[in-house]
Amino acid sequence: MGELVVGLDIGTTKVVALVGSLEDGVVEIIGMGKAPSRGLEKGVVVDIGETTASIKRAIEEAENMADVKIERVYAGIAGKHIESINNSGTVSISRDNRVITLDDVQRVIDTAQAVQIRPDSQLIHVIPRQYIVDGQEGITDPVGMTGTRLEVDVHIVTGSVTAVHNIVRCVNNVGLEIEQIVLQPLASSFAVLNEAEKALGVVLMDIGGGTSDIAIFRDGDIWFSKILPIAGEHITNDITVGLKVPYEEAERIKIQEGIPLVSDETAEEERIEITTIGEEKKTISKRKLAKIIEPRLEELFDLAMSEIEDAGYRDLIPAGLVLTGGTSQLRGMAEFISQRYEIAVRRGRNPQGIHGLRDIVESPVYSTVIGLLKYAVESKEYMHRGMDKRGRKSRGGTGTGRNHRGEPKGVLGAIMGWLSGFFRGR
């Protein structure tokens, strides 16, 4: 068996633990555990005990399937408390030979991340997008180059101290350590986006149960991230109320029937069978279902497009919109969005380099947890490259991965570990 990597997706509606065996850069999924998520609202822990119990159940199921003992996980985080900004920093290279070192990279990132954040927030990621040496842009690895002025552009993600602490506490309660906390849309991007899309300009929208996570990529890196408090649960609840059906039946109707296109003239005549709360079988028109789903989808995507436009990226995403997450399975959603907002839309496909348990690998429901495994692999690949590559552009943030002495591990630790002491001593 290769090196174990474990992703833990703590969502509003479900907790998923995925165990992978890493060999030669390829991950074989050897175990999965899933449990209903109780104790979270819109991605934020509101009940420590319930959340801990859900995590414990998912972890134990994954351990039993994989026949391993899980000790460390890469955990995703979302919620409306998440905020992000872009910033830059500059340092001078004054030594005689003017050769840029890892220390210079650390200094310039220190400068870039020295922004004022709210007292109740903490850093989650400081992601270098590019380095600039004496005006030359687009540099990914400045270590060893010669120059007098080093700049960096970074994407900074912060979250509520309380929200982050509660996630950590729930995981620790199960006897696990957190290798790193990873922003969920960033993790999902590792699962469903290709390098060409990231380079050209693309929006990733991960629509889960409690939140919809947005990330915009340009020139290969994340430029914007936002968590919206509207998602699949809202659509399901609308169907429950509108059709007077149980929640489980509403969820089935949402995914299986979806939304007919507005131009579909046969929607009024076509009918579907439903089971009401009183267990009565009846039929309704697809048009009636569409009238329930459409307003909520419009609310969600009007909000999403407004955020994108306000951030100035509406005309900078020629690769369009990529959908993932459980709610992205809703039939007709891609066509509805494409027509209404005049944007190219596709559903995300999970990545190369991940094998095993085919129904998991190919499902958008598991994009975040699969992305966490891909993120883990890239982190470990950087670590194994050694000191000479530690100055390369990091994909991650502050992390909690530590060696037996409590020191940050790997490139992500070397580049980012000093940014926050919040997790020290854990």
Helix (H) or strand (E) holding 383: helix 367-385
Phi and psi at residue 73, in whole multiples of 5°? Answer: -140, 155
Q: Please give the order of strands across the beta sheet that includes 26-36.
A: 177-183, 72-77, 3-10, 14-23, 26-36, 354-355
Q: What is the pLDDT of residues 28-52, one digit of tens each?
A: 899 999 999 989 998 899 999 999 9
Q: Which two tokens stand for residue 337?
A: 């969005």
pLDDT over threshold 50, residue 419:
no
Ordered domains of the chain (ranges, CATH):
232-287 (3.90.640.10)
* Averaged pLDDT of the chain: 85
Phi and psi at residue 23, in whole multiples of 5°? Answer: -140, 125
Helix (H) or strand (E) holding 360: helix 358-361
Q: Which amino acid is at 174?
A: V
Residue with tokens 């992703």: 7
**Per-residue model confidence (pLDDT) at position 261:** 60
Tell me how far apart the alpha carbons of residues 275 and 282 are, in angstroms, rounded to a whole number: 7
Residue 347, strand partner residues: 323
Query: What percent of the chain has pLDDT above 90?
Result: 65
Residue with tokens 């900078």: 316
> Quick one: pLDDT band at residue 364, thresholds 50, 70, 90?
confident
Cβ 394 vs Cβ 154: under 8 Å? no
Residue that wins the pLDDT comparison between 128 and 401: 128
Q: What is the pLDDT of residues 138-148, one digit of tens each?
A: 898 999 999 99
Residue with tokens 């914007």: 224
pLDDT over threshold 80, residue 268:
no
Residue that wins the pLDDT comparison between 348 and 391: 348
Residue that wins the pLDDT comparison between 165 and 421: 165
Q: CA 81 from chain center: how many Å?
A: 14
Cβ 286 vs Cβ 267: under 8 Å? yes
Q: What's this model's pTM, rounded to 2 decimal places?
A: 0.83
**Per-residue model confidence (pLDDT) at position 151:** 97
> Quick one: pLDDT band at residue 404, thresholds 50, 70, 90?
very low
**Per-residue model confidence (pLDDT) at position 386:** 39
